[in-house]
Structure 1
Amino acid sequence: MINITIYRTESGKIQSFELSGHALFANRGKDIVCAGVSAVSVGAINAVHELTGVTPDLEHREDGFLRCVVPGGLPEDVYEKVQLLLEGMIVSLRTIEETYGEHIKITFKKQEVE
């Protein structure tokens, strides 16, 4: 199963997200759940970089783990654009979860620090 954790600040803004695990929907190279989650998450990170100039802090491993952290200290207008792009990612991931819930689980957690 792909586990996705979205970390939000106390005010509800996206601070970071993590993906881990494998969908195991189909054999490697034919797994549409894995491909969908990868396309949506990496596409969102690329959109953040391309459209806002912000480079999130990333950790990516060969075992399927991906962690993305929104950097602090961004100007408010840029921060809001980053948030909108990441909220769009969540909408797409939840759509995948609705159909393939036995292969993907999204969890939301609140950070205690703003």
Structure 2
Amino acid sequence: MTRVTFYQNRNGQLTGFKAADHAGYAEAGEDIVCAAISALVIHTINAVEGFTAQETDSSADEENAVISFSLKGKISHDAELFVKALAQTLSDMQEEDAYKDFVDVNFMEV
């Protein structure tokens, strides 16, 4: 199961996320859930870095299937909006009967 933890500050702003583990929906190379989550995560990182002036920090550990991403400094509206869109889409996936056993979305105050 892919676990995605979204980090929030005390004001409720999303400040980043960590996605970990493979979904386990199908064999490696054929797992559409894992591919969808990966595409959404990479798209979000690329969108924030390409379309906003937000300072960010990211890391990827392919061997352990972990991607971490954080918004640094003052959080811009646009950067947070991209992260919110990711959170909403993954939460929607989690609610679908076909995918609920393969994606787990959580929120944590930091």
Q: TM-score higher than 0.5 here?
A: yes
TM-score normalised by length of structure 2: 0.90
In structure 1, the partner of 2:50 is 50
Matches within 5 A, 1:99-110: 99=96, 100-110=99-109
Superimposed CA distance per residue, residues 11-68 of structure 1 (whole angstroms, 9 cap, x where no aligned partner): 1001121011111100111101101111111101111111114352011001210110
TM-score normalised by length of structure 1: 0.87
Matches within 5 A, 1:55-66: 55-62=55-62, 63-66=64-67
Give the Cα–Cα distance (whole angstroms) in 2 for the partners of residues 9 and 16 of structure 1: 10
Conserved? CA contact 2:55–2:73, under 8 Å? no
Superimposed CA distance per residue, residues 47-104 of structure 1 (whole angstroms, 9 cap, x where no aligned partner): 1111114352011001210110101146xxxx11101111111111112212211011
Moved over 3 A (4+): none
Q: CA RMSD in A?
A: 1.3
Give the Cα–Cα distance (whole angstroms) in 1 for the partners of residues 74 and 90 of structure 2: 27
Give the Cα–Cα distance (whole angstroms) in 2 for the partners of residues 8 and 107 of structure 1: 11
Q: Which amino acid aligns with 1:88?
A: A
Structure 1 residue runs of 5 or longer lacking an equivalent are: none
